[in-house]
Structure 1
């Protein structure tokens, strides 16, 4: 439960981050807007061509009565459009991340800079980053599609299909959405997709707490556009939790200068060595009886004289 709440917290923190940095919020919305316009145009043409596509796919119904012919082809056209709409919902995030790879790379870098401990991304050309992102997104869609088929089949089971399966569907979608959104930040940290899966499976509550609310919000296309920058920022914060960047110890001042001398080879600081006075500058201490000369004050400076009376003075 703690990880579940933490995942929701990262989602809220990401939205707060872009709210404080309005320029980056507008910057991060551009890929989502471009993708939304592209999908809207594609769905518009799909809606216009679905009837022709249904007619082309059912030549055997030409001899049917108009009632049954129209019913079949109208139903098929509606299924084609609904299928396209469902596919657009499932692929919108992946395509947005692919289109916005350079945008979200900059956004992730800015989040890392403001939070401290920014990683050093691997030196990879942009075209290679796009290829890797497309490959990873395709693998995520394949995995999600496999779970979707299993859940679709389980949906025909009485009671379970109407209660458990929808909950599992949102959980699976939330997990893979978190995997997609954290891919930009984790790719900057050099983490391959297999390792990303392992990390998120190990913190399943964190992934679900972050992804499931987004899945519910992304059901509305405009919410997807508005919330995408904050989702990427929040995913970056979550990635920092999964793969923290350790900062190396700061180098000491002057430690690597002049050819990288070892500690023992550095010259000692002159201020640390006491200065010894020269012997020519030494003076006797005040009050010294020998201050004026070696014999000054010496009682034996003159020739000794015998003390009176002396019995041997005459001798």
Structure 2
């Protein structure tokens, strides 16, 4: 098992390097001179060639491309993403607190989404073809087809404006989590519960279920066996759902004025604050690789055939 874990980690390293390189290239794809972008972001009224050359030298942009990339990669591995072009503050001092706020929202939403997906998936699988199964799938199809910003706006109007039960923005108390978490959970549980349902239905037709029932096992124990084997298939899906939620909180954070990574990244894009954009892209990409590796390892723990290469 230890060898499989080491192998998974080693495989992820080249992928992270490729992602970091593409992230750094993003900065140089701008049609403007990077130094000119810096000066524009800082609001310099008159940009001259001498000022551009001075800025390039101060920020090390006059160095060869691969030297710039290597220096940036070493610094980024230490969470030093440079300085914001707009505020002049270290990027991590801005993105760190925002990243933490987004992680809180993502973690709570992911837990709620996984629990709801498993619950709905089990109910629909056990009641296949019946009214409750059709109703849940119909309602989930309608809600997941609805844009998240529209669902969020409707919930704000109903729970905050009409009945004044929940705050509309910020993260002042636990009540501030209810609306954004509900929107994210509803949007994604309607997608992922189908995977649990389909996996359970495929296991219901397996020979071991027929044998278990023939041996006199209760339906409760049979259901537990089905769910356990079904989760081996869906664990990778749930593992990748977490970074997807992490990256898709941009809309929700802007609707609810959540002081997270999504709100910060939108401001950085509008002001062309490239160090923050680079840090945002790199962190999200690293999260995808991390959770993909973790889900592979968890699958190997649950299924010996995977770690033995069978």
TM-score using structure 1 length: 0.26
Structure with the greater relative contact order (CA < 8 A, sep ≥ 6): 1 or 2? Answer: 1
Greater helix content: 2
Specify the structure having the higher radius of gyration (Cα). 1
